[in-house]
Structure 1
Amino acid sequence: MSVIWGVPYLLIKVAVEDLSPVVVVFGRCVIGAALLLPWTIARGHLRPALRHWRPLLAFTVLEMTGPWLLLGYAEQSLSSSLTGLLVAAVPFVAAIAGRLLGEERLTPVRLAGMGLGVVGIALLLGLDVGGAQWVPLLAVALVVVGYGTAPLIVTRKLADVPGVAASSIALLVTAVVYAPFALTRLDEVADAPASALLSVGVLGVVCTALALSLFFALIREVGPQRALVITFLNPAVAVLLGVLLLDEPFTLGLAIGLPLVIAGCALATRRNQPRTAAQPTVETPVP
């Protein structure tokens, strides 16, 4: 998941050079829905999934429709480094929300791992707060809240809904929301080079359809708190791809920050030790 959701930084960078961000988002949603919706219908999962339309709609707004729009707005004035560091707060929000709802407890070791991961992200990306405005920062804060709480809906309200079905419906709803803004810019597609169109295609197939299906499986396997630790590794993957494919410099921050991120993830995803009851003492009779 960290690799799959670390790649979009590179693909989006290529795509938005010739396409509007709203067209890119609309394109990846349409492609993802076109791949997953027929599978959902063929398996007979559409109607049962729609019975849970209220939590599905909440998940869609918190995970896709709201965050993608808010991030697009925020990154018009915030640096990508600062945005990436702020989004790395998602596991903390998930941990707090899970604790309030009685989910798995957050041990000191896991909390220390999250803190170590944030330090690593800061070293990887650098922290640029100069000239930051409060409204874009608030937009990213809302994104963090959405990303941190949406997986809890999956575990608590959508446990009986297959991940592919939930993803296909969420993508379709998001595509419909973005359609009025994207359809007026479709002339950009005709003039776009093959590299931009290929980037949108990979975004839709790999980073949206496949990624969301895997994300649901990951949430159900390890829980929402551990699943969201991928937020730490996503920027690390993006930075490595920038070094390998875009000739970006290999900095001291990368050399130090990446091991810290990996170590932080290892600690933050440790399984909690089960609490064992004290064994009664058995006295051996003296002959």
Structure 2
Amino acid sequence: MTARGWLLFSLMGVVWGIPYLMIKVAVDEVSPSMVVFARCAVGALLLLPLAIRQGGLLDTLRAHWRPMLAFACIEIMGPWFTLTDAERHLSSSTAGLLIAGVPIVGVVAARYFGGEREHLGARRIAGLLIGLAGVGVLTVPHLTGGDARSLGEVLLTVIGYATAPLIAARRLKDVPTLQLIAPCLTLTALVYAPAAAVTWPAALPSTNALLSLLALGVLCTAVAFVAFLELIKEIGPTRSTVITYVNPAVAVAAGALFLDESFTPTIAASFALILTGSVLATMASASKGAPDPVLGRSGGRSTRQRLRRGPDPRPERDEAGAR
């Protein structure tokens, strides 16, 4: 990976690992609806002008409004509210670790609902079971403490985060990222504006809460989406998803450092189980003729073989397409 790739990877590991901390700080003083509205409004204000500048935004909306609406509901409108509401009762560390189960749910969703027909195999099934065991270690102690609703909300968030990419991959793959994200953020801000107005705090929130809302909109939404797009261009979509394994570690560390959240043996055990299970469950099975994740080939002689054997003696096609 290039230096630019490592820089983008490190940036994404942080900016998508700290939202749980920011949400926890903000939701202590403002309503979940207000948090979602502020985050989306700030992100939309930054990204919508860039999307308009690309040109063709109205044509994109006319051609893809149905899957874009579904994506907005499943990826942003629902999950961002349920996650924020859950953090009124759960620690940011717990929320971050539970969200780490997204790749596990994503494997199952892709297998049975996304048209993915790859055989899971013993390794991936073992990963699913290990990851579920980690979720169980983390959640069972909460079930008798009145947090069952919050855990259910995080589960809904996980399902949304895991299934929305299926819509993007099958129905929105030709839509530029900015022209997908900016309208979705704008729509979500408009939907939550009435609830945010009704629950507007009587007193001005603290500086920490306001800075958290600003950071959620600027860093964790606008900058994060743009950086993730550049990361995909730099290292490819497969390797870029490895940030999913870094974000929970950042969430746990941030909660312990800034909110004095305890790092217990239970959290450590669940952390290890969930991440191990996620890695095993999402690890692609090697198959003959499968695309090379680094060289981008499929079948035939590899790039390394061609380099060793020298250039292909056959002439290249000319401008007319003849050999």
- 1:110: which partner in 2? 124
Give yes or no for the alignment of 1:169 onto 2:189: no
Q: Which amino acid in the other structure matches residue 25 of structure 2? A: V
2:102 is matched with which residue: 90, 99, 119? Answer: 90
- Alpha carbons 2:30, 2:200 under 8 Å: kept: no
Q: Aligned pair in 2 of structure 1 residues 45, 177: CA closer, same or farther (>3 Å)?
A: same
CA distance in 2, matches of 1:71, 1:165: 25
1:252 is matched with which residue: 265, 269, 275? Answer: 265
CA distance in 1, matches of 2:171, 2:205: 41
CA distance in 1, matches of 2:24, 2:31: 11
1:190-205 → structure 2 map (5 Å cutoff): 191-205=204-218
Structure 2 unaligned segments of length 5 or more: list them. Answer: 1-11, 291-323
Q: Aligned pair in 2 of structure 1 residues 210, 49: CA closer, same or farther (>3 Å)?
A: farther
Q: Aligned pair in 2 of structure 1 residues 219, 122: CA closer, same or farther (>3 Å)?
A: farther
Q: Report deviation, 1:61.
A: 0.5
1:243-274 per-residue CA deviation (whole Å, 9 max, x = no partner) reads 22333334323444444444434433423202
Q: Report deviation, 1:98.
A: 1.3
Q: Which amino acid in the other structure matches residue 54 of structure 2? A: R
- 2:297: which partner in 1? none
Q: Aligned pair in 2 of structure 1 residues 246, 125: CA closer, same or farther (>3 Å)?
A: farther
- Alpha carbons 2:41, 2:185 under 8 Å: kept: yes
1:194-273 → structure 2 map (5 Å cutoff): 194-214=207-227, 221-222=236-237, 227=241, 230=244, 234-273=247-286
Q: Which amino acid in the other structure matches residue 28 of structure 1? A: R
1:104-183 → structure 2 map (5 Å cutoff): 105=118, 106-120=120-134, 127-130=141-144, 132=146, 139-183=153-197
- Alpha carbons 1:82, 1:129 under 8 Å: kept: no
> What SS is found at the alignment partner of 2:189?
helix
Q: Which amino acid in the other structure matches residue 91 of structure 1? A: P
- 1:281: which partner in 2? none
- Alpha carbons 1:148, 1:228 under 8 Å: kept: no
Q: Percent identity?
A: 46
Q: Report deviation, 1:241.
A: 1.3
> What SS is found at the alignment partner of 1:171?
helix
Q: Report deviation, 1:167.
A: 0.7
Q: Aligned pair in 2 of structure 1 residues 154, 46: CA closer, same or farther (>3 Å)?
A: same
More deviation, 128-137/149-158 = 128-137
Aligned length: 274
1:33 is matched with which residue: 44, 60, 63? Answer: 44
More deviation, 136-145/97-106 = 136-145
> What SS is found at the alignment partner of 1:52?
helix
1:52-67 → structure 2 map (5 Å cutoff): 52-67=64-79
1:63-103 per-residue CA deviation (whole Å, 9 max, x = no partner) reads 11122333455556777777666655433432222123332
Structure 1 unaligned segments of length 5 or more: list them. Answer: 278-287
- Alpha carbons 1:28, 1:200 under 8 Å: kept: yes
More deviation, 266-275/172-181 = 266-275
- Alpha carbons 1:81, 1:128 under 8 Å: kept: no
Q: CA RMSD in A?
A: 3.5
1:150-209 per-residue CA deviation (whole Å, 9 max, x = no partner) reads 100111111111112111111001000000111234455x61222111111110011112
CA distance in 1, matches of 2:278, 2:98: 17
- Alpha carbons 2:64, 2:172 under 8 Å: kept: yes
> What SS is found at the alignment partner of 2:141?
coil
> What SS is found at the alignment partner of 2:143?
coil
CA distance in 1, matches of 2:134, 2:283: 18
Q: Report deviation, 1:34.
A: 0.6
Q: Aligned pair in 2 of structure 1 residues 78, 66: CA closer, same or farther (>3 Å)?
A: same
CA distance in 2, matches of 1:78, 1:258: 16
CA distance in 2, matches of 1:111, 1:62: 26
Q: Report deviation, 1:123.
A: 5.1
Instruction: Provide TM-score, normalisation by structure 1.
Output: 0.78
Q: Report deviation, 1:237.
A: 2.5
Give yes or no for the alignment of 1:16 onto 2:27: yes
Instruction: Provide TM-score, normalisation by structure 2.
Output: 0.70
More deviation, 84-93/266-275 = 84-93
- Alpha carbons 1:29, 1:171 under 8 Å: kept: yes
Q: Which amino acid in the other structure matches residue 181 of structure 2? A: S
